[in-house]
Structure 1
Amino acid sequence: MDKLSTLIGRFTFNARVFFNGDFCDTNQFQADGAAGHLHLVRQGPVVFEHAHGELLRVDEPSMVFYPRGMAHRLSVPDGAAATLLCATIAFQDGGANPLARALPECMCIPLAGMAPMRHTLDLLFAEAAVEAQGRAVILDRLCDVLMIQVIRHEFDQGHLHAGALAGLADRQLGPVLDAMHGRPHESWQLQSLARLAGMSRARFTEHFRTVVGTPPVEYLTRWRIGLACKLLRNGLPVKVVSAQTGYTSPPAFTRAFTENIGMSPRQWLRTQEAAAPAPGA
């Protein structure tokens, strides 16, 4: 099973390029808990100032990425100019998204060290250099691809912190998360999950909480409810959704959904429909 595709397909994100060009000023970014910020420094110097006055100076072409939207100030020294491409990365569920939580608070990677992403970067910068129909959409999609490659790079290098991706990389927890993700409809119990990990229940619970950041049953519930939201958006009835997400009956599913989301599935669907843009808007 392609573990990353399964997880990224569930915990989606979208990139939106908001700046592309020469920069010789300052800009302040606030932490809003909803979106991360990506800065591709094509030419420096650029100074990133964090809380408590911590400075990160970037002189060579680099990627600076704040997955959870940490507050920072971007500036260029007096008399200098930089070339930047910047995007917001809006993760589903904001900073609570396991993809966002799995990555470091701030990532700075020289572009020279991003060889596996070279072709994507070349396409991104080439598209940014032209004025053509559809450019904005293409830039956004290429940033999406770049983010997936960055996540894959961090996953392959073992740099991920506690969270679902770190769990997938763990020899004992990987099969457990695969089972949860791939077969959420099954009646998983703590004992059966521990058996998949080849551990005792107590040791499994402790290890899962340490690596993933939440107890196994809580993680399974969140995964099921997240999947349920996707199925409900696709128009499936509550009865079908409850069966596909492992609940014994629609009332049991509705109780779990309400406890986690704060409203019933039907109420939640109405809020989604009300928030959706009108056709042609």
Structure 2
Amino acid sequence: MDRLSALLLQFGFSADTFFEGTFCGSNHFPAQPGRGHLHLVREGPVTFVHADGTRLRIDAPTLILYPRPQAHGLDTGAGTARLLCATVHLPGDDGAVIDSLPPYLQLPLAQLPAMAGLLDLLFDEAQHGGLGQKLVLNRLCDVLIVQLLRHALAKHLMSAACMLGPSDAALANAMTAMRDHPGHHWTVASLATLCGMSRSRFARQFHAVIGCPPAEYLTGQRMLRAQALLQQGRLVQDVALEVGYASQPAFTRAFRAYSGLSPRDWLAQGAN
């Protein structure tokens, strides 16, 4: 059994769909112990509003996962949106998987081609399902969440430290350093020193356990920090320097390779 499967069996979540269809107006979801939320926006626009005042406008088909209890609202303004919503029942809010995730995951469906077949099944069941529809929708949402976590790991949207076994725990030192200080000029040698390993052993073990070279993991952490800074209104050239790039063109090339868009286009499309 692979580590993600073993971790998810221990995690023990389950989804419970409670709405599918056209929605207009606004609704509020309080933070409830042991519950997260999954929202599938098939058609927008819809704006998600958070307790800290931040707002997340969704225009294109998008998945939103709140992996831990978090108060939030949604508002369609004067228009309507097509939604599928589910509560995610959690075994507790201190698990390794939950702790490794950001407050929410926002993933445009256009960036999830591997999930197209599953989403087609989910949409078809929501529209045409018969007896047992709710059970089928719940199970499909369970699979969707697993796929989301797989995607989040592959794109470094969540920390792979939650999957480290006892023999790999030293790697967490390097992962934490890259996450907390992505703008630092990290080298394989300096990261290996943090883990008490030789360069060759560190590089080999990191790739085997995390699934990518240290440099790729660092790029992912830099891009996540850059996206957060861009959303705060920081200038592109300032963001480039803060996340470790010597020039704005070098940063823009890396950002485009990571997201498929330039920083300004990414901001314009709201594709964080």
TM band (smaller chain)? 0.5 to 0.7
SS at match of 2:52: helix
The aligned residue for residue 58 of structure 1 is 58
Give the ranges of 4+ consecutive aligned residues of structure 1 lying more than 6 Å apart after TM superposition.
none
Answer yes or no: is 1:71 the counterpart of 2:71: yes
8 A Cα contact 1:128 1:135, kept in partner: yes
What one-letter code is carried by the residue in structure 1 that aligns with 2:8? I
Structure 2 residue 91 is matched with structure 1 residue 92: yes
Equivalent position SS for 1:24: strand
Extract unaligned runs of 5+ from structure 2: 173-194, 198-272
Match of 2:37 in 1: 37
TM-score (ref. length: structure 2): 0.60
* Structure number with bigger Rg: 1
Answer whether contact 1:91 1:97 (CA < 8 A) is retained: no
Change (3 A) 1:122 1:174: farther
Say whether residues 1:159 and 2:157 are aligned partners: yes
Q: Deviations over 1:165-197 (max 9, x none)?
A: 4x36x9943999xxxxxxxxxxxxxxxxxxxxx
**How far is 1:69 from its partner?**
2.5
SS at match of 2:134: helix
CA RMSD of the aligned region, Å? Answer: 2.5
Q: Secondary structure of the equivalent of 1:81?
A: strand
Q: Does the CA contact (< 8 Å) of 2:20 and 2:84 recur in 1?
A: yes
Percent identity of equivalent pairs: 41
| Structure 1 gaps, min length 5 | 177-197, 201-281
User: AA paired with 2:117?
Assistant: H
Q: Hey, what's the Cα distance between the residues in 2 that align with 1:101 and 1:91?
A: 12
**DSSP 3-state at the match of 1:73:** strand
CA distance in 1, matches of 2:23, 2:152: 29
> Which residue is 2:140 aligned to?
142
Q: 1:81 to 1:15 in 2, by over 3 A?
A: same
Question: 1:157 & 1:104 partners in 2: Cα distance?
Answer: 13
For 1:15, the equivalent position in structure 2 comes to 15
Residue pair 1:104, 1:161 contacting (<8 A) in 2 also: no
- Seen in structure 2, the aligned counterparts of structure 1 residues 42 and 141 have a Cα distance that, compared at 3 Å, is same
- After TM superposition, give the deviation of residue 50 of structure 1 in Å: 0.7
The residue number in structure 2 matching 1:173 is 169
Aligned pairs for 1:74-223 (under 5 A) are 74-78=74-78, 80-93=79-92, 95-161=93-159, 164-165=162-163, 167=164, 172-173=168-169, 199=196
Kept in 2, the 8 Å contact 1:29–1:73? The answer is yes
- The answer for the alignment partner of 1:218 in structure 2 is none
Match of 2:25? 25
Query: In 1, Cα distance between the equivalents of 2:85 and 2:170?
Result: 34
Q: Could you tell me which amino acid in structure 1 is paired with residue 6 of structure 2?
A: T
